Amino acid sequence: AKQTGRARWVMFDQTMQLAAVRRLQLEADLRDALARQEFFLHFQPIVAPRDGRVRGFEALLRWRHPVHGLVPPAEFIPVMEETGMIDAVGAWVLDAACRQLRDWQRTYDPQLTMSVNVSAVQFTGEDLVGTVTRVLADTGIPPASLKLELTESAVMADAEHALAVFAALKALGVLVSLDDFGTGYSSLSYLRRLPIDTLKIDRSFVSKLDCFDDKRQIVEVVLMLARALGLDVVAEGVETEAELDLLRDMGSDLVQGYYYYRPLAPEDAARALAEQGQG
Ligand code: C2E
Ligand code: CA
Ligand code: CA
Ligand code: CA
């Protein structure tokens, strides 16, 4: 059936309106989420493939909407970044993750680390170093057990700013990871100059690593680069034994992915720590 231009415009307009209304509703709901305690954290173990032991965790933010249930971070984090809410929520994440780490260090293993994602917006803002300072003082965890994850693209978008912020973070004694490594455009000279501790190889290179020669070669080059620069490597998104075997053989120190563990509720993460304590 033929549609007039006008009819199509009306439909388009309604769809746009609906999207705009949804977005406003999402924003309004997010504004209340912190006070209503709808945010919580999951923890995904980071494992040494050599012995299969958990060395640390990445804290991953979760939002349980009272009506819609779990909302994926990819949906609500961009909204929080655009509205500036990410600063308050990011500070909450940092504090909650460090408190949880303190518990687990006391109960299970003082060497455990906690990785916390820092958004590009938090990184460009002025609060980050102050927030980290306060959380370290409040929780009393050893600074070197906290790793801040910044995406390669956020860091390289303003590498001069990164030099200053990373220097301040280093002075506090915390560690810095470049997240989603390989998906941004790193300047080799900044990679050398920035005080980075860890490269996290993005899942897109790890996934089906055993099926593509070029992926294997890229991972090998990243491992060589990390070795040359004295950095640790975490391979993200390891899902299969074949991927794991290759990464272990190539000398990846640490891996993270569904093969070992999905992101876990705190009680399940504690159980994983308890079980390996006995083994
Ligand atoms: P990311 O930092 O790259 O985190 C890793 C994502 O990969 C997580 O998704 C994790 O659940 C998922 N993942 C881990 N292993 C596997 C695997 O083997 N296979 C597959 N397919 N996926 C795997 P999640 O939790 O949905 O988080 C998505 C993104 O949201 C994160 O990507 C990060 O950019 C952002 N995010 C999550 N929590 C926070 C937070 O507290 N603050 C900020 N600023 N961003 C966060
Ligand atoms: Ca991350
Ligand atoms: Ca990542
Ligand atoms: Ca990612």
Residue nearest to atom 42 of ligand 1 (CA): 117
Split at pLDDT 50, 70, 90, the class of 277 is confident
d(CA 65, CA 71): 7
Q: Once rounded to an integer, what is the mean pLDDT over residues 192-208?
A: 96
**Nearest ligand to residue 115 Cα:** 2
Q: Once rounded to an integer, what is the mean pLDDT over residues 56-75?
A: 96
**Is any ligand 1 atom within 6 A of the Cβ of residue 12?**
no
Complete DSSP assignment for the chain = ----HHHHHHHHHHHHHHHHHHHHHHHHHHHHHTTTT-EEEEEEEEEETTTTEEEEEEEEEEEEETTTEEE-HHHHHHHHHHHTTHHHHHHHHHHHHHHHHHHHHHHT-TT-EEEEE--HHHHHSS-HHHHHHHHHHHH---GGGEEEEEEHHHHHHTHHHHHHHHHHHHHHT-EEEEEEETSS---HHHHHHS---EEEE-HHHHTTGGG-HHHHHHHHHHHHHHHHHT-EEEEE---SHHHHHHHHHHT-SEEESTTT---B-HHHHHHHHHHHHH-
Compute the distance from residue 58 Cα to the ligand 1 centre, in Å. Answer: 9
Single-letter code of the amino acid located at 155: V
**Is any ligand 1 atom within 6 A of the Cβ of residue 263?**
yes
Q: Locate the ligand 1 atom nearest the alpha carbon of residue 263 and give its number.
A: 11
Q: ipTM of this predicted complex? A: 0.97
| C-beta neighbour count of 239 within 10 angstroms | 16
Q: Which residues surround ligand 3, an ion (CB under 5 A)?
A: 179-180, 236
**Is any ligand 1 atom within 6 A of the Cβ of residue 73?**
yes
pLDDT digits (tens, 9 = 90+) for 80-99: 999 999 999 999 999 999 99
**Is any ligand 1 atom within 6 A of the Cβ of residue 87?**
no
d(CA 10, CA 27): 26
- Which of 66, 40, 47, 91 is CA-nearest to residue 247? 47
Task: Tell me the two tokens of residue 36.
Answer: 């209503």
pLDDT digits (tens, 9 = 90+) for 206-262: 999 999 999 999 999 999 999 999 999 999 999 999 999 999 999 999 999 999 999
Residue 15: its pLDDT value, please?
A: 78
Residue nearest to atom 11 of ligand 1 (CA): 263
Residue nearest to atom 41 of ligand 1 (CA): 61
pLDDT digits (tens, 9 = 90+) for 248-257: 999 999 999 9
Compute the distance from residue 175 Cα to the ligand 3 centre, in Å. Answer: 16
Which residue is associated with the tokens 């980290």?
A: 132
Q: For the chain, what is the mean pLDDT?
A: 93
**Nearest ligand to residue 180 Cα:** 3
